[in-house]
Amino acid sequence: MRSRFRSDRRLTARMGVTLFLLGLLYVGFVAALIVLLKSWVLVVVVAAGLLGAQYWFSDRVALFAMRGRVVEREEYPELHGVVDRLCAIADMPKPVVAVSDMEMPNAFATGRNPDHAVVCVTTGLLRRLEPDELEGVLAHELSHVAHKDVAVITVASFLGVIAGLIVRFAFYSQIFGGGRRDQNTAVVFAAVMGVSAAVYAISFLLIRALSRYRELAADRAAALLTGRPSVLASALTKVSGDIARIPTKDLRTAQAFNAFYFTPALGRGPSIGQLFSTHPSLEQRLEQLGRISAELGEAAAPGGA
């Protein structure tokens, strides 16, 4: 089913290229591990099993980690009303609606496809935003679902984790596995670590580049769907400013899910993490929304709107 969120061919192309490159990378990675560890069945079964679990259960894992719970219309009628209205405008299935009892103002979408999606907002976000600002944030999250980049970033992010898991397995199997120890053990271990480090570094950069672009694409799609980019800009400014005032220690748990958030959970001041952020800068996002606002204003002017 195609929604009325404007399609983004550049986003689709970037997702395809990223997955293709990651696929090549991990085929080579698994092949190298099979040669080095001499246990192709275990490597393939573990990698496939974990990837499948991440794809099918990512929504439940994310909700559990962020203390989110599914809420019914009777409990949050205004929230459901906004989601209903946006889904009707966008002509897309309504996702499961959830709320996380967290002071940090934020929102995220997850799920493997539009028919199995979850949109979650924090209570901190609900307390801070006006209804029209909330609509802009939810339109941003729904555009992730419509563009299917939620599933892509879920799979892509997971592939970076598998390298570390397999290295740990190799390390502990060498320590506790018993068997013959010889001079080749250190060479094999060093080779596995080297391959894993290279795979992680390359996948890290690919995923961050895709993540930053998909956030700009979601801002653009949300602004065009609602026709009010200034409202989304207001929500962005408010949420980013409030997150910056939350103590860093309270953000640490949330930072693992930055790739899925409306705005990243970053503390005050510059950090090395901001150099490799999952999101474009606030200035870049506001500049794009400003251009869209001008374009919509120019388009409306001849008609006397």
Mind listing the pLDDT tens digit for each residue in 224-274?
Answer: 999 999 999 999 999 988 876 665 555 555 655 666 788 876 654 444 555
What integer is the mean pLDDT of 62-67?
A: 76
Q: At residue 182, does pLDDT exceed 60? A: no
- pLDDT band of residue 136 (cuts 50, 70, 90) is very high
The alpha carbon of residue 105 and the mean position of all alpha carbons in its chain are separated, in whole angstroms, by 16
Q: What are the tokens at 169?
A: 């397995």
Q: Give the per-residue pLDDT at 27.
A: 72
Please tell me the distance from the alpha carbon of residue 84 to that of residue 231, in angstroms, as a whole number: 19
How does DSSP classify residue 183?
T
- CB neighbourhood size of 297 (10 A): 12
Give the whole-angstrom CA distance, residue 121 versus residue 228.
Answer: 20
- pLDDT beyond 60 at 64: yes
Question: pLDDT of 79-95, one tens digit each?
Answer: 999 999 999 999 999 99
CA distances from 263 to 65, 91, 129, 238 (A): 17, 26, 14, 11
Nearby residues of 200 by Cβ (< 8 Å), 6 or more positions away: 160, 163, 164
271 SS3 class: coil
Which one is predicted more confidently, 169 or 235?
235
> Is residue 305 pLDDT above 50, yes or no?
no
198 confidence band (pLDDT: 50, 70, 90): confident
Q: How large is the average pLDDT for residues 275-296?
A: 88
State yes or no: pLDDT of 158 exceeds 80.
Answer: no
The amino acid at 144 = H
Q: Is the dihedral of CA 287, 288, 291, 293 positive or negative?
A: negative
Per-residue confidence (pLDDT) for residue 76, from 0 to 100? 96
- Structure-block tokens of residue 6: 């404007």
Residue 126's nearest CA partner among 136, 114, 134 is 134
Binding site: residue ranges? 140, 144, 215
**Does 221 score more than 70 pLDDT?**
yes
What 8-state DSSP symbol labels residue 260? G
CA distance 230 to 240: 15
Q: At residue 40, does pLDDT exceed 90?
A: no
Distance CA 44, CA 52 (A): 12
What's the token pair of residue 293? 């606002």
Comparison of pLDDT for 251 and 205, the residue scoring more: 205
Q: What is the pLDDT of residue 270?
A: 47
Q: How sure is the predictor about 36, in pLDDT bands with cuts at 50, 70 and 90?
A: low
Structure confidence at residue 189 (pLDDT): 67
> Which two three-digit tokens encode residue 100?
């996380």
**What is residue 87's predicted lDDT score, i.e. its pLDDT?**
94
Cα(272)–Cα(10) distance, integer angstroms? 28
Checking if the pLDDT of 175 tops 70, the result is: no
Average per-residue pLDDT in the chain? 78
The residues that bridge with 121 in the sheet, in sequence order, are: 99, 107
Helix intervals (H) in 66-114: 77-90
Strand order in the sheet with 96-100: 68-70, 96-100, 117-122, 107-111
pLDDT for res 133: 95
> What residues are annotated to the active site?
141
- Of the two residues 260 and 105, the one the predictor is more confident about is 105
Q: Which residue has the higher pLDDT, 292 or 153?
A: 292
pLDDT value of residue 277: 82
| Structural contact between residues 137 and 235, judged by C-beta atoms closer than 8 angstroms | yes
> Which residues are documented as binding site for Zn(2+)?
140, 144, 215
Q: Residue 266: its pLDDT value, please? A: 65
- In this prediction, residues 86-106 reach a mean pLDDT of 92
* DSSP state, residue 69: E
More confident call, 14 vs 81 = 81
Tell which residue, 271, 223, 233, 265, has the closest CA to residue 247.
Answer: 265
For the chain, the domains span: 9-263+273-299
Q: What percent of the chain has pLDDT over 90?
A: 32
Kindly state the average pLDDT of the residues 28-48: 68
Mean pLDDT of the region 137-151: 91
What is the structure's pLDDT at 304?
43
